[in-house]
Amino acid sequence: MNKLEAIIERARHIVFFGGAGVSTESGIPDFRSEKGLYAAREVYGHAPEYLVSHTAFAKEPELFFDYYKNNLVYENAEPNDAHKALAKLERDGKLSAVITQNVDGLHQAAGSRNVFELHGSVKRNTCTGCGAKYALSYILDSANCTRDDGTPGVVPKCAVCGSTVKPDVVLYEEPLDEDVIDGAVSAIARADVLIVGGTSLVVYPAAGFVNYFSGHDLILINKSETGMDARAGLVIHEPIGEVLSVFL
């Protein structure tokens, strides 16, 4: 911890790159975990990668939204110490950007302003027909959800044109947003310190972004080992909220 604090103290442009482990301490489980994989197959009969794929959204929307609403949306989740500490580091002029693989919007809720959401956000939703925008509360309201035959269901329909409303999240089989990629890569390339936290660095292409870092200090904070531990100048195998709480 002393080494971590010393690195942060002398840093000028810190970038944070985070994954699911950042939000598990807010009560949002990692759907790719062993427990998540088991639950998906037992309850839905599919791997989670299929359940949150473009194919499932297009061909089996009832299945998609049933899984999505029950496993990716946690409306009452609150930012934990990791989110709060990163927001404070930004306010203090230390942190330049947050790059996240999460879709929960908790970094912004904690006060972070320069956030690159690689996989989008559950907070934003767009009609596939007319492009109308909707808040999360709209797609969770059963009054706005029907089947194609008009009977009650779980698929949110646009109040303007009646088309399906799609969450602004990057599904499997869909590309990442080019503008978000460019911003994230640029931020990493300019950083003198890169903190990677709450991710095992196995989901590509996002995990490959670390390769754009050429600064002084690479810090890895994750409860388990990652394939890049050997590259880091500092590795901490502890819960990230517990580690970063020292900066609150």
Residues assigned a catalytic role: 119
Q: Are 165 and 138 in contact (CB under 8 A)?
A: yes
Q: Are 60 and 180 in contact (CB under 8 A)?
A: no
CA atoms of 7 and 234, how far apart (whole Å): 10
| Spatial CA neighbour of 240 closest among 14, 87, 83, 11 | 83
- Which stretches within 47-140 are classed as H helix? 48-51, 54-59, 61-71, 81-91, 106-110, 136-140
CA atoms of 89 and 147, how far apart (whole Å): 46
With vertex at residue 112, the alpha carbon angle to CA 110 and CA 113, rounded to the nearest 5 degrees, is 140
